[in-house]
Structure formats: C-alpha cells, structure tokens
Amino acid sequence: MSRFYRQIVIAILLLFLVMGMISPAQAKSETEGGGYWLPNDKEKIEKATELMQQGKSIGELGIMQDQIQKKEGIQTLDELMKEDQQSNATYKANMAPPIKTAAGWTPPEFDYDHILTTEECQRSPDSSSETGYIKNRYSFCWSHVATYQVPVKCIGGFCFNEGVQFQFTEIGYGSNQSRKMRVYYTLDDIIVTHPSLNGAKLKIDMMCESKLNAGDCKEDPDYPATERTIAQWKNTNFSTEIFTSEAPPSTDSNPDQLGYMEFWPKLTLTHAPRKFKKSIDGIKQTVRYDSAKYMFAFPNQYFWQGAVFSKATPIFNVPITKPEFSMLAEAGQHWKFAMDHPEQTKPQMIGKKIPGEVGDSTLTRMYTKRHPDEYNRNRSKTRSTCEREFRDEDRTGKDCDEYPFASTWQGSSTNGSDNFSVSLISSDSNQAAGTWLGTWYAYDRILDGDRFHVQVEAPEKIATIRSEGQPQDGQDHRSSDNFSIQNIPSYATKLQWKIVDGPTDAKFDVMKDINLGIDETIFYDLQDGSETEIETSGDLYIANPENTNGESFTVEVYAIP
C-alpha cells in the first residue's frame, strides 16, 4: 500500500473514532464475531441490544463469549446422590386432599402442577439463573437471551457486526409413568439487524450424557435436533426432543434401578456467505430415572417407572388452613408444634431438636418393606412411649400420632435419641394423614433414602406487644414500645392482628418509628381479627388506641397463608 493510501485509511479510521461510530474497545474485538448469553440484568440486556443494533461489539460491556459444556464421564451412585443432596433448591409439592369414602380415606387422583407456558417460566426469578427453575419433580425450565454477532466488514482490525438476538426458553417435563423425559423449547422476540440474517441457519440440539449407566441417555430418533433458518424460526418458533433411559439390572447397591443423565441445549448459528459458525451451550440439568415398584397409591394407582429433576429437595406441604384440608388439621398442628417447640413435646427432653423444617434439617424416607426391623422398632417405641405418656387419658376415638414419621430414618427409634414427639389426635385425622403421606411418597417419587422437608401452612405467631389504653406520657400517638415483625414463613400472604388480653373491641393504628424523621402510619383502624398486607420492620409500635376506657391490651401478630 502506498504512503498516500495508508494515510487515507488512517484518516478514515480516526474519523470513525471521533464520530463515536467505533470505540477503542472494538478495535481489539475478535474479527470472527461471537455468540453470547446475556447476563440476567435488564439494564445490561438493553445496553447490549442497543450496541448490537448499532453494529458495535457487545464485548464493550465485558460480556464474555459463551464456553462450551464439557462431558465429564460416568460417576458412582454415591457421588450422584451426594450432588443431589448438596443442592440448595427446594420445591413445594401441591396435592389435592384425601377423600373420605365408605371404605375409609382414599387418595386423590394424580394431577401434577406442570409449567404450562413460557410466560409462567419467565415469571420465576430462578428461570434465568445458573441452576434454572425447578417448579417440582416433573417440571423444570431455563430462559435466557442469546445474541450472535456476525462480522460483515473489518478494516485494519476495526469490525462492523450484524446481529441476531432472541429469548430462548426450554421447559423440561419428567414422568411418573415411564423412564422418559421431554424438552420443549421456544424462541421469542427474534431480532435481526440486517435482512440477510433471516437466511442464517440456527440449529438447536439437546445434548445429553449418561452419568451412571451406559443406557441412561438415549435420544428418541423421532424427535431429532431442529435446524431452521431464522425466517423459519419466526414462523415456527418451537420444537421438542425426547430422551429415554434403559433400566439397569436391579442389584443390592441399586435396587431401584436408578439412572442419571445430564442434558443441556446447544445452539449453533451458521451464516454461510460470511463463513460464520458459532455454538453456545446452555446450563446443565440433571434427570434421575428409576423403576421403583413400590410407587403405589391405594387402591389402584401404580407408578412403577419415573423420571424426575432430582437437584431440588421436596417440601411435603400441608395447607391445613384451607377448608378442604380440615381433616389434616390435628395431625398438621402436631407436626408444626413439634418442629417449632420441640422442648414442649412429649417425651420431654432438655435440648430436644426435631428435624424436618424448611431451611433447617430434612427427613429421610425409609421404605418400610426394605427395612422392616427398623420400621417395627420405630412403631414399637412409639407405642410404648404413648402408653407411658397418656396412660391416664381417655383415648376413645383417638390415635397416637408420631413425628417424625415412622417411615423415616428420623423416627422414634432410628433417630438414636428422643428427638421425636407423640400426641393424641382423632383417629380420623391420623388415618387421613397417613393415607396422604403415603400417597405423596408415590406421587412425588420419594424413594428409599430420599430427603425432604415438612411444611405445615398454619398461622404462625411472629410478634406479641403490650399497649397502653392511651398514648404514653409525652407522646401524641405512641402507646407501646417498639416491636419487630421478621422471619415471615415463605407460605404467608398476610398478617393477622389479634387482641388477646384487655378490651377486645379496641381499635388502634400501627406506626413506624423513623429515626430523625416523621413517623409513618403503616396500618389504620385495626381491631381484633384484622388482616393486612405483610410489612417487615424492627421499628413498629401501636398508636392511637380507641375504645379502651383507658385499659391496656395485648396484641398478637400472626403470619397467615
């Protein structure tokens, strides 16, 4: 190149820099373009989209090109189960109540709460996380914005790009009938910055890897990877792939014929005229297969094979405040009291701790026919404890309920101590609860050795405060000291205010103590039984009491479902 032309090129590049058409960071960008998953940050996504539409590299934002997932090979069953147990994710199982018939309590029909739409998936904050959203054992999803930048012109290291961007969403479905799982995926909000990119081809392939047995990952040939042009994806924005698992032989070390598989999406964009081809991989997710023949709900529901998303700890949820679950109220109240107030339960023991609560410890299922001696020891110890604790009480129409359950390794004998509780409840509630627990084991595929939490959705007292019957001396509004509302259970949707001592027809406000400012009224005209939205603070107080005749009163605050 002559000196004259070299000077012209340099002058043009400098002009671009001055005009802001190219930034110095772009001068260092790779000439081969790139593929990216954008960070889960609305502001960053908007900025990246703006840069893409301007033809600029989104590398300016510090967004790195995606790395390809690597296959890691076969692992042992112990290693895989340990990985499941190390997950911090949980999910709440929702099930219909048991049904009373002439033959006794029977379970509801199996009807699982699947993720039904991409919008439902995307509403979950976890849907774009590094682990995705596990709604329950049979529904998982992940949704992320993908961007490809195709270089169309590079001069002296300065590159202009055209771009393709879309929202990718995958929804995985397990099974309670077969060793089969299905992945449904969609592309939404497709953007191209140049019409020629409508002809680029995008291939979506769900990759999988066997983790325990060679047959854990078999792709259904009737549902292969899908490759379409961007224009075709705009017209038909979805596809499906299906995986199955071959059941290994039943052995002493693997009696439930477990199999494990990891899967992840691989998205490859090819633009032949620009000789551009880039792949990006989504997150990995784990599927556990089993052929446990004891997945059975009386009298005739059988679930002898299944596929579940195992990296989330189940929560056995008991919503006893709902009228349709009234038959479980006595049992549920006992379980909740045992977890909340272990030292007040029978048998009494100083320092007693009873496991199972969400956010704390777990229970572990013990399949009773596989471990008959341990189960019988639990039942025997519970019976003898009840005979001792309730020998002077009328037990007509009542059963002795135990928590943790006899079908767990934390039962009365297998926990190795007295970290359990017994209580007399009606036979009807006890039998309904037993039926419902056994049904849930089958519906959620809680295998022998699986961990789970117990959550009883019932009003939970979170604060008690004594108020004077009029504002305190020197105060215009305040009639109590400050109190705190914290530690709201995850299932709570409202606060309930109860007057438990003093004039029950009193009315009052709740104000917030604002340091170096004017105190704010949070709730007005509360009375016994009032329900409000949830407000958490450590600086609330009772104010402006009315209808008290000057008498003091006590308010209890409950978090309610």
Domain with residue 523: its CATH number is 2.60.120
Same domain, 301 and 183: yes
pLDDT of res. 32: 62
Residues 6 or more apart whose CB falls under 8 angstroms from that of 34 comprise: 57, 59, 65, 148, 149, 278
Tracing tokens 């077969």 back to the chain, one arrives at 178
For residue range 303-359, list pLDDT tens digits in order.
Answer: 999 999 999 999 999 999 999 999 999 999 999 999 999 999 999 999 999 999 998
For residue 104, being part of any structural domain is answered with: no
- In the listed set 456, 486, 512, which residue is the last one of a domain according to the structure? 456
Among 418, 438, 456, residue at a domain's last position: 456
Residue 94 forms part of a structural domain: no
Measured N-to-C along each axis, helices 329-340 and 427-443 cross at an angle, to the nearest 10 degrees, of 80
Tell which residue, 217, 272, 224, has the closest CA to residue 243.
217
**110 occurs within a structural domain:** no
Dihedral over Cα of 365, 369, 371, 374: its sign: positive
Q: How many structural domains comprise the chain?
A: 3
Write down the pLDDT at residue 160. 85
176 and 262 in a single domain? The answer is: yes
Looking at the fold, whether 212 and 275 belong to one and the same domain comes out as: yes
Q: Does 398 fall in a domain? A: yes
**pLDDT score recorded for residue 158:** 67
- 46: number of Cβ within 10 Å: 11
DSSP 431: H
pLDDT at 333: 96
> Across-strand partners of 269?
202, 278
Within-domain flag for 107: no
Residues 449, 468 within the same domain: no
Burial 231-247 (b: 16+ CB within 10 A, else e): eebeeebebebbbbbeb
Relative to beta strand 285-290, strand 301-302 is unpaired
Both tokens of residue 242? 């299906």
Same domain, 305 and 400: no
How far apart are alpha carbons 204 and 183 in whole angstroms?
Answer: 12
Structural domain contains residue 96:
no
- Residues 208 and 67 occupy one common structural domain: yes
Output phi, psi for 24, to 5 deg: -55, -35
* Same domain, residue pair 273 and 325: no
The answer to whether 260 and 288 are in contact (CB under 8 A) is: yes
Domain interval for residue 388: 313-456
Residue ranges for the chain with pLDDT beneath 50: 1-2, 4-5, 7-31
Exposed / middle / buried, residue 132 (Cβ in 10 Å: 0-12, 13-18, 19+): buried
CA 507 vs CA 69, 464, 467, 533: distances in Å: 62, 16, 11, 18
Within a domain: residue 486? yes
Which stretch of DSSP H or E encloses residue 133? strand 133-136
Residues 265 and 338 in one domain: no
Asked whether residue 348 falls in the same domain as residue 452, the answer is yes
434 and 299 fall within a common domain: no
CA atoms of 418 and 184, how far apart (whole Å): 49
Q: Which among 256, 278, 311 is the end of a domain?
A: 311
Q: Is residue 36 included in any domain, yes or no?
A: yes
In this structure, the answer to whether residues 182 and 42 fall within a common structural domain is yes
Same domain, 478 and 447: no
The whole-model pTM stands at 0.86
